[in-house]
Structure 1
Amino acid sequence: MSVAIRPASSEDLAGILGLEESIFVNDAWSPAQMRAELGSPHTSYVVVVDDVEGIVGYGGVQAPSASPDADIQTIAVVPSFRRAGLGRAIMAELIGAAWEVGAERVFLEVRADNPAAQALYVDLGFEEVGVRPHYYQPDDVDAVVMRLEFHGGASAGPGPIGASS
């Protein structure tokens, strides 16, 4: 397995949608939503590409340059590629992109029934700040809202993951 992370482009739409639909079966984004995300000047998306399997992960962050807040839009890794550090690597890229445009904090929502993802986010420095009841539909699962604060300003780098990115 040889993987690389690179910025996503519109040519990656079909591969991203294939993963989106297989991983997020009941709450997958529509092709129009994902196309808009990839084309937005306020978002940064990356893909993880395996030399054999093609796109095996992706993630995106909305980080408008005039806003102190950024929001992780989505992150996914194919099950057979999990537990290899790819989710952490994608998050490092997304957090770095938010920091580069001047964000002071990054938010995300994670399914309450996904303790593995929650543990990763806590390890990256995120803290729980709230719950959105019944957020994920049609599964009727709550969302745990988490926040990462950048400390020390731009010269300090993107907080707790700065050394590991």
Structure 2
Amino acid sequence: MTEFGSSISENGTRNNIKKLELKLTVRKSTNMVLCAEADNDFVDSLFNFLTIPLGSIEDVLKGNSGLGCIDNLYKSVENLDSKWFNTPPPDMNIHRHEKTLKMILLKPDQMISVGELEALSLLKASLTSTSSALTAGLNHMLKNPRDKDVMSNAKKLLCSG
């Protein structure tokens, strides 16, 4: 299993040793991250942040630690239905139109490298964000915040009308 690691350089700065890749799917109109695909290594590393002793304390207190976001996380995992771990069948209707939908609504998939600090930022956003945790946690890493083709097409429509 690949894990995050860090080292302290001679000048005292912290260096991430291993960065893991995420594949992002982003909506063109709002620049919102809709989906992030990752390998098992990233998921394992993210869950490793949740295995600190705070989880044991939370278990003993049965989700009543007084830390709202941690209590909510504990209760949501405790009551998680196993149906959420099943994948949909590959013959669903949405898959027939997937290519067309991607061309119209989504930017090309982006690959980003995620280190320990970015993973912690994503974890924090998932516990505190009131909107999209993926967008909140990864927005600073997105490439091309404005889609040039959409902007140029909009200008052409305005000028010709």
Q: Return the structure number with greater strand share.
A: 1
TM-based fold match above 0.5:
no
What TM-score do you get using the length of structure 1 for normalisation? Answer: 0.21
What TM-score do you get using the length of structure 2 for normalisation? Answer: 0.22
Greater relative contact order (Cα 8 A, min sep 6): structure 1 or 2? 2
Q: Max radius of gyration: which structure?
A: 2
